[in-house]
Amino acid sequence: MDDAEQDAALTAHAIDMAWRNDVVLFFAGLPEEAESEGFDRETIDLPQKQLRLLADIVKVNPNVVVVLSNGSAVSVTPWRDSVRGLLEGWLLGQEGGNALADVIFGDVTPSGKLAQTIPMSVLDDPSMPNWPGEAGHVDYGEGVFVGYRYYDTFGRQVAYPFGYGMTYSTFEIRNLSAIPHDNTVQVSAIVTNTGQVRASEVVQLYVAPCACDAARPAHELKGFEKITLDPGEASIVTFELDSRSFAYWSEPRNDWHVERGTYTIEIGSSSRDIAERVQVELPGDGIRLPLTLSSTFDEWSDDPIGGPILQAAINRLSQQEGHPIIPESDMLRMLLGSMPMNATNVLLGSAAGRLCERIMGLYNASNQ
């Protein structure tokens, strides 16, 4: 990235113009050599000579609006609190200048939303522990925790969250309703323009999953609707969530899977500006993995068929032994929980073999 010294005469001229005028529009961004899909950027900072010039201009005129031109996120935290406004332009085409002028002078009300999180630092990015890789390989170690799914799940501070974006008006989102049917949900809410100008809001719908064994983000975007309203006008937005909106990819099942449980429907204007939440109970798809002796004690206990079989077998063997084969101990139960059934002899001794034989026989018989 070009970080040569700024021309002294141009710097002096810019500072003098800033001092003489009421408002400064400071256009900043990445140089051409930093914009490519053929290599990775090593920093998300703006060039230092731009930041030095910005700092000098703010000293003589605090009414500075920064207009950015960049293909991907740049760090704004070192300087955003020193300026009055920030307009993210991304990479604009040949009509970019006219588009910016329309927004800056109020001829058009902006309504864009961030399609990515703006982090505080490049070190906060979830890919950093695996980048740039080694020996010619890069692991995509983030799993499902990419972008806002990572930042929101682990409570990381961000400069601007996914879905964030301001307009020249204000909006209220209320009366969230979610009506479940099997594993689908019909959602609606009322959106009102509470400001003074006609503007658009992008209403965003997120789903927070129920408790399950799979690693899942705190919530995921499942729908969005852009709505344009006059001042004081209200309208209803609706969403139809199908079963995939609640599913995750299950490696053991090699298919999408909907867990039975309580899901939270969230509606708002960004991933961190949630206006209302409601909960719905879903029955799940009922697809169970077959139990084997390699299944853990907890997996047997939680299974609707295997659980009663296991408990009945424990009771019967305890009667035959004349004492509980599993002593009343929270610690023992905790240790047993994650053990495969065919390894429980470590804690249960010889009774484990008889227990495994009995539960497997009864379970196989129940599935015939």
Predicted local confidence at residue 313, as pLDDT: 93
pLDDT of residue 70: 93
* C-alpha distance from residue 157 to each of 26, 74, 120, 310 (Å): 26, 16, 7, 46
E strand intervals along 11-138: 24-29, 64-69, 85-88, 118-119
- Tokens representing 273 are 């500006």
Which tens digits make up the pLDDT trace of 136-191? Answer: 888 889 999 999 999 999 999 999 999 999 999 999 999 999 999 999 999 999 99
pLDDT over threshold 80, residue 276: yes
Query: If 0-12 CB within 10 Å is exposed, 13-18 middle and 19+ buried, where does residue 298 land?
Result: middle
The pLDDT score that the predictor gives to residue 3 is: 58
State residue 226's pLDDT score: 97
How high is the mean pLDDT of the chain? 93
Q: What mean pLDDT do residues 301-323 have? A: 91
Q: Can you tell me the mean pLDDT for 205-230?
A: 96
Tell me: pLDDT of 2 over 70: no
| pLDDT above 80 (res 344) | yes
Can you read off the two tokens belonging to residue 88?
A: 């993210």
> Which tops the pLDDT comparison, 299 or 187?
187
Average pLDDT over residues 48-69: 96
pLDDT in tens, 232-263: 999 999 999 999 999 999 998 899 999 999 99
pLDDT above 90: percentage of residues in the chain = 76
Segment 23-35, tens digit of pLDDT: 999 999 998 888 8
> Rounded to an integer, what distance in angstroms lies between the CA atom of residue 158 and that of residue 120?
5
> Which of 274, 276, 203, 282 lies closest to 247 in space, CA to CA?
282
pLDDT band at 305, cuts 50/70/90? Answer: very high
Measure Cα distances from 199 to 171, 174, 175, 196, 271 in Å.
9, 18, 21, 9, 20
What the block records as the tokens of 28 is: 């900043």
Does this model's pTM top 0.85?
yes
Local confidence band at 42 (pLDDT 50, 70, 90 cut-offs): confident
One-letter amino acid of 310:
L
pLDDT at res. 346:
87
Instruction: Report the pLDDT value the prediction gives residue 125, as an integer from 0 to 100.
Output: 92
pLDDT the model gives residue 203: 98
